[in-house]
Amino acid sequence: MPDIQPTTDKARPKSSLKAWFHPRGRSISTIAFALNRLTAIGLTLYLFLHLVVLSQLLRGPEGWNSFVSIAKSPIFLTLDVILLFGVVYHMFNGIRVALVGMGVANQRQKGLFYGLVGIALILFVVGAVLIYTK
């Protein structure tokens, strides 16, 4: 089978990020795909941020207590809510992608999207309320 070579034709549009997030004419499945990528990038960045936050423990009880007071501020809670959205969306859409990718229910992928992301949104709303009220 042949190796595919890149085209050297300058008239081929080069638009990596635009191709992923260009919404015009796209279906719900592409919006699901684009959101999955965005949340994946967000969660990866969060992982590093989380490690930075945990490193405050090295500064002893005073450093940690000062961080906890910041963590209870409304701006930080809003960031927590955004994080929660990323977690539940990526997790439930990930289940859909895994099921479809194994050839299971691939003809019902839109129904899976609405069902699983619906559950994710319910969990998100409940979680957001708890974050702001507890």
Interacting residue ranges for another protein, rule: CB under 8 A: 1-2, 4, 6-7, 9-13, 15-20, 22, 24-27, 29-30, 32-34, 36-37, 97, 100-103, 106-107, 109-110
Nearer to another protein, 84 or 96 (CB): 96
Residue 100's contacts (CB-CB under 8 Å, 6 or more residues apart) are 106, 109, 112
Q: How many C-beta atoms surround the C-beta of residue 110 within 10 A?
A: 13
Nearer to another protein, 24 or 134 (CB): 24
Nearer to another protein, 105 or 122 (CB): 105
Cα angle value 18/26/87 (rounded, 5°) = 75
Least distance CB 111 / another protein (angstroms): 12
